[in-house]
Structure 1
């Protein structure tokens, strides 16, 4: 049945006929109720000016424009009713509650309040009229309509019924700031907007892409007209939402493109290529470079010859030879009498880089230093002195590389491995270590392939090179799914593999037992496998071991003194054992796709056929089924990354949730993928031809955090 409209007087529209007392450009602290503590919370959400409030979008909408008779309530749907209290009482059960039996002309409604005080019970008396908004439910006992803890307003001659003229938006709470306060502040911002429209995109752009103007879109989202479908309002195809997505993508892309131009205006030391030392390195290798490695090296060498800093991203799948490519760049820096650093996210990976650099570069006369956390005080002093004097030409380490006491002689090249694991400020600090006044060349590497749309949005300031070939002789790794019930069969298979001279990884997600996660802990698995395989040497590697212990265990595994290594994800990157041909991943359903792909890449580095067994605990969630199916069916890192983007979203793939890098307020890079490619050339055009609009868009969407791209 249709809902009957109510006839009581309606409230006035929220936009005031008077000129507002605030301006959109005012600081958020100008609003009532925004003191220093609240302002700090808002700043954490990139809300600094009143205009920023306009881009907090409603989670949902409430229809408080009419009153619904009790008899026309719909189960599970929100509604507003006008009722009179017939009886009240406090009831005790599992929870203490205040219960009111109410009615209108059409039926009965039970109202239950679980949180109430003495003052409420004194005011909510028989005969009191209430305007109530809540979700309609059914009493299990008497089958009457009921509402649990609804919002209500006591109706009196002094406080008559007031209905809204538009659907009521419900906003997300922000760090403890309630949705009601946010609603009031946004209402004030909208009042400003009516008198002070925001600068919009040129009309030809809006017409071409059938977009409403920005101010109309904002008003339509915050103050939608009655009669609109709630599903349509919340749909990603809502043209008003699309208009905001379009605007945000432009703002972020313009900021990155401007950063790229800024990089190009900086000075760097141009390298004179030393082809002789490069050829000596290539001749010393026990293998030939792939064509893809050669192409990427050409890109890098071309960049290094210019006095503008290189900003290049190398994408390459696990085992594609990114590190060797980076070492060729390092060799050119040292051949020019300059210093280079390689920064890795973990001590284990930094040590692997150190060993690889010692193997390939030390014979060519390069002095390699490892700034290790396990160094003694004396060793650290000696290393720091060698760095400051220039005696150390290549310095390898983790975040320790940018600590205050690390002073470089002439830092000219920065290589960052698995760059998404580092925060913006860490990268900035390392770049600022250059003493010459010139900006170091920057080379960042990732084995987490980045879909093209993400690269265009997050890395528009970087030139990208892709290593899309694996070394010759590598066989595809066969990936198998195995339920926990077949564990014994797997252990028997491991015996055969080890007897054949091969080695095995067994990776667990936790160190200690956890009832919550129901996952086997590494220590327990180690004990079980040691008992099941008494003739084999089983090792245990996890993050709680100190650096010396980790190094010793890895060395034993590399020397085949340990045949089966039980480990946590500490071996996700950096451990290279060509003789390992089986990777078992315990509780594989608990890992993300990128991690599964990285772990699988620890095997398949020799000539033997290699396998990855994903040991899972049934039943699997839908997402877990998708992940395991994707990893079983795909070996292409880009296909896996695309699937990961679809399942998890960009923030987790790129590490931006942890590092504080660029994030999006409205756009969703999975949902809005098609718009990324459309907005990119428009952003390029605006940067080149409309600096005023470019300023406004960057200020609107990036503001004080514009430094996020400054790497």
Structure 2
């Protein structure tokens, strides 16, 4: 018997070659794909609202008689249709229309329409509402249902998707959807049957609990949410399983290099660092590839942990690749590693997109021959022409900037192309526990939950930009006392060019107002050599004030800097602001972070800045950031397809995360169920585990 997944959407009425191509952009090829293209919200069109009771911002159904229909010439030509009911008038405005539409909406026609009320030239208006001329009588109260709203792509409108989904539902009785959850799981959590759940979500019956449906809490929705979260969990566990099917070099700890390194350090390791190192040491000793995420708040000492992991790999006869997302951060690591490891006779190679010509050829030769046992760089490390002699460990800093597939690309460069390298992933963005369980299910997690002794809390102050003069004076005084400061420029536009321009203008302005200070400028458009020169000058105390874009968010370590000004903090996420704040407070002086916002702040904006003022704990801040902005923003992975759910909403549904994590291993043992669930919910995105 055919299954829904085998029946192409072209069997539906009205779906020709062109529409099938449009649906394919949404990942819809079969009837099953269409039925799993789920509504992400509903509209309540179950009652007609009297026009006289409408207010700006109301969304709903109105019905009346056309009393006027004119084409008017304003800044833009538009069709203005006036409707009347017993309580008042309303204007429908169309900027895109044709003669047929004008005829459809002739004077005397009865029209029912749906839209959002706006204040317009002619009073209250609906712009381009959905409408029906001479409609059937409204369903009686008690038999009317909610209207689903679907994700769209260019070339297809809501009414068409609704019509296709209704047609697809008619196939469900003959071709029920295959149940992929084990019967005991359905029974334990009292989950409804999959076909019934899908049918209800697309076409809620009049008897369905409306508040539950609108909130996404209906049992049918939650049944699908749970299955979707399980599919995501399984896809990551499968990535882990695929990697661990290959062997790795067992790197047994050798004492001499590590002991020498620790003797040379001007500080002792914290208990938290030692604990995390014990996890790493144990993983590296195994012939299975390590897959470990190390989280640590700003300044917790992750780089030292990475260096000690690298030493274990080197002393075991392996090579190490350390990859960072930006030139500045990669270069910071390169300088730290050279300073620590060259005295031990260990050679480090530098590879980034900016390294060209002879310098690149030399670096590639050193890595290929094994003369350089550590290669440090940006994503240039996983380009095809980079060959390693004996790659045994990959360290990825700020993993969320890369995405799963990029980090997996380095695994093919392991020893002889057969042994997989161990992977150590580091992030200074604390990830809330539930989010880590879902987004990084393929990784074991360790947390450096302790700061080195002597780190002073940073006092955080929020001031309006009207007090700019006071802030500039504060910078002057701090620098005159021998300390250094950062001034960070942000813009609402995502354009890097505009960010750089804003930083240039600010640097010029500050130089005019603070003629006695030595001011440097760093932004993403500077050449690597220029950037390095400015950063070195700031680090060695030749500059008093560094004006920068958010490129300094991670990895810049200047203990004498005790003041940071962040312009327009309301435009950044809490986690990013916390990262920026962590650029100060690294020395023995009291440190300050000034958040210079542009009033008026929304209630949400005030609450966000208050979180930063109240807490120094990155995990507390990350939890709040997750509540406010959602998982895709916190992880910085919106573009990778990770955490882009069809129905699940992380904050609303996080109660399922722990449950799904416990259930997933048992389902994973059944490859048929696993493949079916992943394909059903992730579709074409399944490929990201096979890079």
| Same-fold status (TM-score > 0.5) | yes
Query: Residue 341 of structure 1 contacts residue 396 of structure 1 at CA under 8 Å; is this kept in 2?
Result: yes
Kept after mapping to 1: 8 A contact 2:152/2:158: yes
* Alpha-carbon shift at residue 476 of structure 1 (Å): 1.3
1:314/1:446 contact within 8 Å kept: yes
Indicate conservation of the 8 Å contact 1:480/1:612, yes or no: yes
SS at structure 2 position matched to 1:485: helix
SS at match of 1:509: coil
Which of 166, 181, 184 aligns to 2:160? It is 181
Contact 2:632 2:644 in 1 (8 A): yes
Q: How does 1:597-612 map to 2 (within 5 A)?
A: 597-612=578-593
Residue matched to 2:299:
319
| Structure 1 residues 591 and 687: CA distance shift in structure 2, 3 A | same
What are structure 2's unaligned runs of at least 5 residues?
none
Partner of 1:293: 273
Question: Contact 1:661/1:708 (CA < 8 Å) preserved in 2?
Answer: no
Equivalent runs, 1:215-364 vs 2, <5 Å: 215-226=195-206, 228=208, 230-364=210-344
Q: How has the CA–CA distance of structure 1 residues 37 and 370 changed in structure 2, closer, same or farther, with 3 Å as cutoff?
A: farther
The answer for the alignment partner of 1:524 in structure 2 is 505
For the pair 1:671 / 2:652, whether they are aligned, the reply is yes
Aligned to 1:194: 173
- Gaps of at least 5 residues in structure 1 are 1-18
Call closer, same or farther: CA 1:347–1:89 in 2, change over 3 Å. closer
Say which SS state the counterpart of residue 445 (structure 1) adopts.
strand
- Cα distance in structure 2, aligned partners of 1:570 and 1:107: 58
Q: Specify the structure having the higher radius of gyration (Cα).
A: 1
Q: Which moved more, 1:491-500 or 1:328-337?
A: 491-500
Between the aligned partners of 1:525 and 1:236, the Cα distance in structure 2 is: 46
Q: 1:538: Cα distance to partner? A: 1.3
1:500 aligns to what? Answer: 481
User: C-alpha separation between the residues in 1 aligned to 2:428 and 2:44?
Assistant: 49
Match of 1:536?
517
CA separation in 1, counterparts of 2:551 and 2:72?
A: 55
Q: CA deviation at 1:239?
A: 1.9
**Number of the residue aligned with 2:150:** 171
When residues 230 and 95 of structure 1 are mapped into structure 2, their CA distance, relative to the original with a 3 A threshold, is farther
1:50 corresponds, among 31, 53, 56, to 31
- Distance of 1:413 and 1:141 partners within structure 2: 66
Shift of 1:698: 2.1
Deviation at 1:564, TM superposition (A): 1.1
Q: Kindly report which structure 2 residues correspond to 1:356-395, keeping only aligned pairs within 5 A, or say none.
A: 356-395=336-375
In structure 2, do the counterparts of structure 1 residues 44 and 557 end up closer, same or farther at CA, with 3 Å as the change threshold?
farther
- Equivalent residue, structure 1, for 2:462: 481
In terms of mean alpha carbon deviation, does 417-426 or 211-220 score higher?
211-220
Range 690-699 or range 650-659, more displaced: 690-699
Q: 341-350 or 159-168: which moved more?
A: 159-168
Deviation (angstroms), 1:393: 0.9
Say if 1:202 and 1:607 are closer, same or farther in 2 by CA, change over 3 A. same
Q: Deviations over 1:677-700 (max 9, x none)?
A: 122212233234x44433332222
CA contact (8 A) 1:656 1:663 kept: no
Measure the CA separation in 2 of the matches of 1:572 and 1:461.
27
Deviations 1:187-226 (A, max 9, x none): 2321222222223334543343343222222211211123
Change (3 A) 1:379 1:586: same
Change (3 A) 1:685 1:530: same
The alignment status of 1:461 with 2:442, answered yes or no, reads yes
**In 2, Cα distance between the equivalents of 1:399 and 1:140?**
51
Aligned to 2:609: 628
For the residues of structure 2 that align with 1:142 and 1:493, how far apart are their CA atoms?
Answer: 53
Instruction: Decide whether aligned partners of structure 1 residues 458 and 518 sit closer, same or farther in structure 2, where only a CA change above 3 A counts.
Output: closer
1:79 to 49, 54, 61: 61
Question: CA offset at residue 494 of structure 1?
Answer: 2.5
Which residue does the alignment assign to 1:209? 189
- 1:91 CA drift (Å): 4.9
Please give the alpha-carbon distance, in whole angstroms, between the structure 1 residues aligned to 2:93 and 2:598.
42
Q: Which deviates further from its counterpart, 700-709 or 405-414? A: 700-709
Report the counterpart of residue 536 of structure 2 in structure 1. Answer: 555
Give 1:432's match in structure 2, choosing from 395, 408, 412: 412
Query: Equivalent of 1:615, from 593, 596, 603?
Result: 596
Residue 178 of structure 1: how far off its partner (Å):
1.7
Distance of 2:499 and 2:535 partners within structure 1 = 28
Any idea what the Cα deviations from partners look like across 1:550-605, whole Å, max 9, x if unmatched?
A: 11111111110101111111211121111111111122222211111111111111
2:305 and 2:121 mapped to 1: Cα distance? 73
Cα distance in 1 for partners of 2:119, 2:462 equals: 47
Q: Check conservation: 2:457, 2:616, Cα contact below 8 A.
A: yes
RMSD of aligned residue pairs (Cα, Å)? 3.4
Secondary structure in structure 1 of the residue aligned to 2:329: helix
Q: Contact 2:51–2:89 (CA<8 Å) still a contact in 1?
A: no
Task: Tell me the CA shift for residue 655 of structure 1.
Answer: 1.7
Residue number among 551, 556, 571 corresponding to 1:575 in the alignment: 556
Contact 2:49 2:61 in 1 (8 A): no
User: Would you say 1:446 and 2:427 are equivalent positions?
Assistant: yes
TM-superposed CA distance for 1:257, in Å, is: 2.5
Q: 3-state DSSP class of the match of 1:702?
A: helix
Deviation at 1:44, TM superposition (A): 5.0
Displacement of 1:425: 3.2
1:14-58: CA deviation from partner (whole Å, max 9, x where unpaired) = xxxxx9x98333355665666777656545544443312223333
| Cα displacement string for residues 92-140 of structure 1 (whole angstroms, at most 9, x for unaligned residues) | 5566555566778x6886664524323344565566x545333597999
Match of 1:8 in 2: none
Query: 1:606, CA displacement in angstroms?
Result: 1.4
**How far apart, in 2, do the equivalents of 1:374 and 1:442 lie?**
25
Contact 1:512 1:523 in 2 (8 A): no
Matches within 5 A, 1:77-156: 78-79=60-61, 81=63, 89-91=70-72, 96-98=77-79, 112-114=92-94, 115-122=96-103, 125=106, 129-130=109-110, 132-134=112-114, 149-153=128-132
Mapped to 1, the partners of 2:387 and 2:116 lie a distance apart of 67
Shift of 1:705: 2.2
1:58–1:171 Cα contact (<8 Å) kept:
yes
> Residue 91 of structure 2 contacts residue 122 of structure 2 at CA under 8 Å; is this kept in 1?
no
